[in-house]
Structure formats: structure tokens, C-alpha cells
Amino acid sequence: MFKNLGVLLFIGGITTVGFGFGGTCVTSGKKDRSEKTGNDKTVFLADPETNYRNYCASCHGEKMDMFVDRNWKFGNKKEDLFKSVKFGRENEGMPAFGESLTDKEINALADYILDGIKNVDKYTSNNTPVSDVFKTEEMDIKLELVAEGMDIPWGIAFLPANEMLVTDRNGKFYKVKSDKSLQSISGVPEVLSKGQGGLMDVVLDPDFAKNKLIYLSYSKVKNEGGTVLATTAIMRAKLDGDKLSDQKDIFVAKPYSRTQHHYGSRMQFGKDGYLYFSVGERGNEKVNPQEIKGNDLGKVHRIKSDGSIPADNPFVKTAGAEASIYAYGHRNPQGMTIHPITGKIWTNEHGPRGGDEINIEEAGKNYGWPVITYGINYNGKPISNLTTKPGMVQPVHYWIPSIGPSGLAFVKGNKYKNWEGNLLSGSLRFKFLQRSVLKGNKVVKEEILFKNIGRVRDVRMAPDGFIYIAVESPGRIYKLVPLN
């Protein structure tokens, strides 16, 4: 892996950030892969795949996935690519490679790139599904409509008697009845339903059958001197039919912010009985994620069900640190789940332009944002020249291009052929469900499911053994029903 971000690379005018090029051309000893130069010297040619790997893959991805994030500035025909590679784009910061690569190599490289970028169609195709039955690598699956009539269903929790709770980011809260009808629930907190804020996740207390307690994450709002401020908060309440009672905020992230994005807000009870949840860095990456004193933002937290602090939290004895912090250095985790065997808390989170991540949360660890990242800024400029640093945790997996992950679930049981132990992530950006096949803690294969079904906001394994997904605008809940 290339570890240092270097020059801006423009191939055919595709703006991107390169990861320090891998040196000179790779040589081959085969005579029929050489040509004579004007100096009558023999130059051995590398095949285009090797040249792409050495000069381009660190930036565009081995399968050229980074091209999906680029706009062609100087043309996308073969002759355009040839000129950009051979002569460079000095004013744009790209060096010329005419002295490193022969014309024959550059022509072959241009052909290789033009053929390879067909791979981006898997992301950019806008074909709308024409059926509720989808073929996957292992089976056919029907998306059975369970509920509709919402705007942005953000979180799902399963109740007894075939019912479920669904939050809508606009501030509404529903119970989906067994007959698929929606019942509004009153008593929800006031939210700032702007930007990425609103009513977000919902989870049941581990002892819900006895105490009827639930937990809601939301964007808590206040007005300070005429300025509207908001933050991530966790409310505990008792569910009684179609209303909430005994509402209490058990966590309010500090500091409040004027921004209206990166709230985090996913929640998960661990096997230890404690509540884990994410808080985004609210767009202030230069300060919040790496600061553990007086700052809750850009972190994963761990608290007891009443909001008190577990005695073994990693920063309990660190002077000035926020005792609820479990891990830090995060950007905006919007997926969280528990590994069915190890009990570890897994998250996925939004990177910037590229570099979305899957992580395993470990007590007291620093996950690096923004000191290390595999993404770049939205304007194409680098955020950091590092992807690794001692003392900072590497992601289990990262996506280039960014898929916009939201929701996270491990597949359990035997209803889905060969899926048990796989990890599912919703994609907001490309409107699909991502299946990640794991070997240990490594992603070894991925499959795109239900392309263009809509922005997939949440994915959950239900007690009935089926997978459910929440899709945005129009807001719908689907049950994944295997057909063979």
C-alpha cells in the first residue's frame, strides 16, 4: 500500500490525488517486449497492467474505482489520455511521464484505462429495478414490502408480536403493526430536523420485556443568543402503547455546534450490557476527533443504561478526559453492530471523498481521523499525506469510491444460503446493499445487492431470522425473503 500522498495526478484531466508513485518503469527480460530508441538503446517494455499498477492504481484503485469520483477535464478519448500522460499538465500539478514510459507503453496504458473504467458502471448505472425479485450470487431474493408512508426511516427495532419501531428523521416515530399499518407514537423529543439531523436511531433495552424501556438518538437543539445550536443526544423513555413516558436525556454530547451534519447516532447494546453509540465530529475535523478532554465529538461512547459511566471505561482515570469515551478519532460512524461470536462492536463510517471504513472498536484506541485517511477532500485536495501512523488503528476495510455507508448487520442463521457471518452495509450514495464476505476480520469479497433500490439507511437482522432494510424517500421497510 502506498502510504504517502504526493502529487496531483490528472489522467485525461481526471482530478485526483496520487499516493506517491512507485518509481521507475518495471522491466521485463523478454526480447519481443522491447523496442529501439533513437540512441539505439534497448528499452524493455512493461505490460500496461504493470504500468497501471505502478503509476495509477494507488490513486484510482486496482479496478479503477476512483474514476467514479472524477470529471473528465481534458477529454476522455485515447488521444486525450495519451497527451496527459506523455506531456503532463504542468499548470494542474501533473508531471510528464514521457521520459519514463515509451509511446508504445503510453498507448497501451490508455487502452487499458479505457477498457478498465467500464468497471465503474457497477456504481453509476441508473437502471431502476423492474421487479421485486432480485438475483444474487447465492439465491433469488424477494423484497417484501413491510411498511411505507415514511420519509427517511433512520432506525429499526423489533418488538414482540411481529411489530417494529421505526424512527423517521423528520421527527416522527412509528410502530409498524402486524398488519403493516403505521401507528404514530407521541412523546418524542424535539429535534432539529435540518441537514443530517432529526430523530435517528432506536434500540430496545436488553430487559425490554420487563421494563419497556427504549433509547432514541436525536439532534438536540438550543438557541443561544439568537444562534441555533445542536448536538447528538440519547434519550431513554418508557414505551406504553402509542406514547412515551418517563423521558430522560442520559447523554448530551458537548460541545454544541452550529453545523447540521455528522451526528453519528448509531447505538448498540454490547454483551456486557452497556450502551455503545457513535457521535460524529460535526464537520470540525481539525479539533474534535483527536481531542478527548472536554470534547465528545468524533467518538464512540460507552455508558450504562441509566447514563452513568462503567468503571472500566478507558479514560475514567485520565485527568480532564470525557469518561464516557470508548474510542476516538472517528469522522461520522452511522453503522454499528455486534459480532455474533466475539461480541466485539463493529462500525462503519463515512470518509470524505473516498475512504469510507469498517472498524472494530477497541477500548481506548485512536482510529486516526483526520491524521490518517484513505480519502481526499471534496475539492480534490489531500486531507493528510498519511494513511498509517503508529498508535492509530487501521480499518478492517475501506471503500474507494465512497459508498456512503449507513446501517450495519451480521447475517445470522441459515435462512440465507452461504451468507452466515457476512456483513451487510447500506449504501446511501449508490442506493444498494453491500454484502461483505469475511475471512476472520478481513473482507475477501463483496457483492452489490438490489442496485438502485433507493438510499439504504438501515439494515437489521430480526429475531425471526430475516433481514430487514430501510430505504429513503419514499420511506419504506423491506423484508428480504429467499426464494430458493
Report CA torsion sign: 167, 252, 271, 366.
positive
Partners of 232 in beta bridges? 219
Residue 326 CB-density burial (10 A; 0-12 exposed, 13-18 middle, 19+ buried): buried
> What is the predicted pLDDT for the residue at 474?
94
Query: Which domain covers residue 80, as residue numbers?
Result: 8-123
Q: Are residues 238 and 372 in the same domain?
A: yes
What is the SS3 assignment for 102? Answer: coil
Pull the grid cell for residue 135. 438475483
Place of cell 490525488: 17
Asked which of 103, 123, 143 is the last residue of a domain, the reply is 123
Q: 453 in a domain, yes or no?
A: yes
What is the SS3 assignment for 226? Answer: coil
In this structure, are residues 465 and 415 in contact, taking their beta carbons and an 8 Å threshold?
A: yes
Q: 1 in a domain, yes or no?
A: no
Asked which of 72, 95, 123 is the last residue of a domain, the reply is 123
**Given 60, 261, 262, 301, which residue is catalytic?**
262
Helix (H) or strand (E) holding 16: strand 14-17
Q: Are residues 219 and 356 in the same domain?
A: yes
Q: 199 in a domain, yes or no?
A: yes
> What is the predicted pLDDT for the residue at 12?
44
> What is the predicted pLDDT for the residue at 29?
31
> What is the predicted pLDDT for the residue at 74?
86
Q: Are residues 88 and 217 in the same domain?
A: no
Residues 45-68: pLDDT tens digits?
A: 678 888 887 777 655 666 666 677
Q: Are residues 147 and 116 in the same domain?
A: no
- Does the annotation mark 301 as catalytic? no
CATH number, residue 77: 1.10.760
Ordered alpha helix ranges (H), 160-298: 208-211
Q: 62 in a domain, yes or no?
A: yes
> What is the predicted pLDDT for the residue at 62?
65
Q: Are residues 193 and 332 in the same domain?
A: yes
> What is the predicted pLDDT for the residue at 57?
66
Asked which of 105, 123, 141 is the last residue of a domain, the reply is 123
Q: 128 in a domain, yes or no?
A: no
Q: 388 in a domain, yes or no?
A: yes
> What is the predicted pLDDT for the residue at 167?
98
Q: 84 in a domain, yes or no?
A: yes
> What is the predicted pLDDT for the residue at 313?
98
Q: Are residues 146 and 83 in the same domain?
A: no
> What is the predicted pLDDT for the residue at 10?
41
What is the SS3 assignment for 144? Answer: strand
In this structure, are residues 84 and 101 in contact, taking their beta carbons and an 8 Å threshold?
A: no
Q: Are residues 143 and 103 in the same domain?
A: no
Pull the grid cell for residue 319. 485527568
Quote the CA–CA distance of 410 and 360 in Å, as a whole number. Answer: 13
Q: C-alpha angle 444/448/454, rounded to 5°? A: 145
Number of structural domains in the chain? 2
CATH number, residue 366: 2.120.10.30
Q: Are residues 111 and 143 in the same domain?
A: no
Which parts of the chain have pLDDT scores under 70? 1-45, 57-66, 69-71, 92-93, 119
Q: Are residues 139 and 119 in the same domain?
A: no
Q: Are residues 256 and 361 in the same domain?
A: yes
Q: Are residues 189 and 95 in the same domain?
A: no
Q: Are residues 41 and 181 in the same domain?
A: no
Q: Give the contacts of 225 (CB within 8 A, at least 6 positions apart).
A: none
Quote the CA–CA distance of 459 and 41 in Å, as a whole number. Answer: 61
Q: 109 in a domain, yes or no?
A: yes
Contacts 24+ apart (CB under 8 A), 414-423: 415/465, 415/466, 415/482, 416/138, 416/139, 416/467, 416/480, 416/482, 417/138, 417/139, 417/482, 418/138, 419/138, 421/340, 423/346, 423/358
